[in-house]
Each structure stands twice: as structure tokens, then as C-alpha cells.
């Protein structure tokens, strides 16, 4: 049972465009929603995170939009660059057990 | 200055063998984790330890045994390796949400295990 569903599986965006990745969760006990970025051969690294009492968080070109009633959240990458090409994972966590539940990942490719 | 380190980076072994992966963090974190990433890139938690105490033990075959000699180290021992154990194993650490700063799990570079 996939508790965090992520789409699309892969995404190709032109340089300068907006990349959008969507996630949906089921467990209302989750209270922290991070996005991780993973380059080939490397471990995942935290990109940006949000708590459910906030509807949007922006850090540079990266924005998380959070819809608590719909149990959905998304990552927007503005002015996408070739260096953003990586696999992106949404995740959810309950601070009670610090157990990160990951989405299935999105392979993002930015083309010139 | 590596925050979370793992050894070895690559491990190739035959079915039936026993192997260990070591993990160390120099961040002073209290909690450490093992994650498995399969061939489809799916990441799933296996275990977590807080101050050497087992906190999370997901549905993992008992051939996998974590061991935490101190809070800076969490090793993973695997007995009787099977083909399906081939994956990338990531160690991670965190300080906990009560630490007074933004919460983050820091991941190591991974160990690619190939069982032949």
C-alpha cells in the first residue's frame, strides 16, 4: 500500500520552463513533508520542506504548494536549469516516529 | 568533512555469503537509519536507532541485523545473501524535531550491493 503517491514518473522540461511534480498522501498523522533531490550515484539530499500549517513555502526557484484538505502537495521549480536534472522524491513523516515515507520518485530532465 | 559516511561504496558478493556495511556520522545526531533503494529507485526505510536503541524495524527478513555500537555508528549485517538483496543501501541520520532547528535527515552516499 503506497501511502505517498507521486506523479509523473518522468518529466522533460525545456530550460527556463516550470517543472511541476505532484504528490498525494493518505495518512493524516503526517506532519512534515520534505522534498529530496537525488543525483546519480549520490544519496538523497533535502531540497525544501513544509509543515501542514502552511500552504506555501518558497526557497529561491523552488516552491512547495500544500493543500491540507485535499491531502496533496506539489513541487514547482521555476526557471528550470539543466543542473536541476535529477530524481525528485516527495516524502512524508510523522514526528512521532521520524519514519520517512517516500513517494516513487520523478526523473526530471531539463533540455536546452 | 563528510557528514554521513558508508563503507564500502560497492559490494559484489555471491549468494549465501554474509556481509556487513558500515555507517558513521559526525554530526552528533541521536538517530540513525537504514534505507533500501531498489532497482526502480523506490526508497524504503528498514531500521532506525535512537541512542543505540532500536526504534523502527520494518518488515525486513531477519537475515538483516542492524548493530549500533555507539550513537555515531550504525552497521548493517546481512546473512545468507539472496539475489533479491541487490540494491543500494543508504544510511541516514537526524537530530530529531525537538532540536530547535529545521528537521532534516542527512543521507550517506550509499552502498551498491550486487549479489550474484
Least confident residue range of A34-43, B10-19, B54-63: B54-63
- Partner-chain contact B31 A32, CB within 8 Å: no
Quote the number of domains for chain B. Answer: 1
How far apart, in whole angstroms, are the C-alpha atoms of residue B23 and residue A59?
31
Q: Which domain holds residue A68?
A: 4-111
Q: Regarding predicted confidence, which is higher, B21 or B1?
A: B21
Q: Looking at the predicted structure, is the pLDDT value of residue B101 above 70? A: no
For A21, how many CA atoms within 13 A lie in the half-sphere containing its CB? Answer: 31
The reported pLDDT for the residue numbered B55 is 85
Which residues from A are below 8 Å from B55, CB to CB? 97-98
Q: Looking at the predicted structure, is the pLDDT value of residue A59 above 80? A: yes
Q: Looking at the predicted structure, is the pLDDT value of residue A63 above 80? A: yes
The reported pLDDT for the residue numbered A1 is 60
- Closest-CA distance, B93 to chain A, in angstroms, reads 11
Which of B18, B54, B19, B62 lies closest to B33, judged by CA? B54
How far apart, in whole angstroms, are the C-alpha atoms of residue B14 and residue B82?
8
Q: What is the dihedral of CA B54, B38, A24, A12, to 10 degrees?
A: 140
CATH number of the domain where residue B56 is located: 2.60.40.10
Provide the CA B115 distance to its chain's centre, in angstroms.
17
Label residue A75 by pLDDT band (50, 70, 90).
very high
Quote the number of domains for chain A. Answer: 1
Q: Are B87 and B13 in contact (CB under 8 A)?
A: no
Across the interface, of B35, B55, B109, the residue whose CB is closest to A42 is: B109
Question: What confidence tens digit (pLDDT) does each residue in B31-49 have?
Answer: 999 999 999 999 999 999 9
Cβ-proximal residues to B90 (8 Å cutoff; 6+ apart), any chain = A43, A44, B6, B34, B35, B36, B37, B43, B107, B108, B110, B111
Judged by phi (left if over 0) then psi (alpha if -120 to 50, else beta), residue B80 lies in left
* Cell numbers at A16, concatenated: 527556463
What is the DSSP secondary-structure string of B79-99?
A: -S--GGG-EEEEEEEE--TTS
CA-to-CA separations, A21 to A12, A15, A85, A106, B54, in angstroms, rounded: 11, 16, 13, 7, 34
Q: Looking at the predicted structure, is the pLDDT value of residue B99 above 70? A: no
Which residues from A are below 8 Å from B57, CB to CB? none
Strands B111-115 and B10-13: parallel
CATH number of the domain where residue A47 is located: 2.60.40.10
Q: Which domain holds residue B43?
A: 4-115
Amino acid at each position: 500500500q503506497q501511502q505517498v503517491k507521486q506523479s509523473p514518473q518522468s518529466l522533460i522540461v525545456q530550460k527556463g520552463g516550470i517543472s511541476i511534480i505532484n504528490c498525494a498522501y493518505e495518512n493524516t498523522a503526517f506532519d512534515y513533508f520534505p522534498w529530496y533531490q537525488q543525483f546519480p550515484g549520490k544519496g538523497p539530499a533535502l531540497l525544501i520542506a513544509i509543515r501542514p500549517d502552511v500552504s506555501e513555502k518558497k526557497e529561491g526557484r523552488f516552491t512547495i504548494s500544500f493543500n491540507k484538505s485535499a491531502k496533496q502537495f506539489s513541487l514547482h521549480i521555476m526557471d528550470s536549469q539543466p543542473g536541476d536534472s535529477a530524481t525528485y522524491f516527495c516524502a512524508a513523516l510523522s514526528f512521532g516516529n521520524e519514519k520517512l515515507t517516500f513517494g516513487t520518485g520523478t526523473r526530471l530532465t531539463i533540455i536546452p | 568533512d563528510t557528514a554521513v559516511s558508508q563503507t564500502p561504496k560497492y559490494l559484489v558478493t555471491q549468494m549465501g555469503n554474509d556481509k556487513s556495511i558500515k555507517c558513521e556520522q559526525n554530526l552528533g545526531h541521536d538517530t540513525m537509519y537504514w534505507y533500501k533503494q531498489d532497482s526502480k529507485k523506490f526508497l524504503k526505510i528498514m531500521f532506525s536507532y535512537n541512542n543505540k536503541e532500536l526504534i523502527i524495524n520494518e518488515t525486513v527478513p531477519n537475515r538483516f541485523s542492524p548493530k549500533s555500537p555507539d550513537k555515531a555508528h550504525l552497521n548493517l549485517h546481512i546473512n545468507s545473501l539472496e539475489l533479491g538483496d541487490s540494491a543500494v543501501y543508504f544510511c541516514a541520520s537526524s537530530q530529531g524535531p525537538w532540536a530547535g532547528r529545521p528537521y532534516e535527515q542527512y543521507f550517506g552516499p550509499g552502498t551498491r550491493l550486487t549479489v550474484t
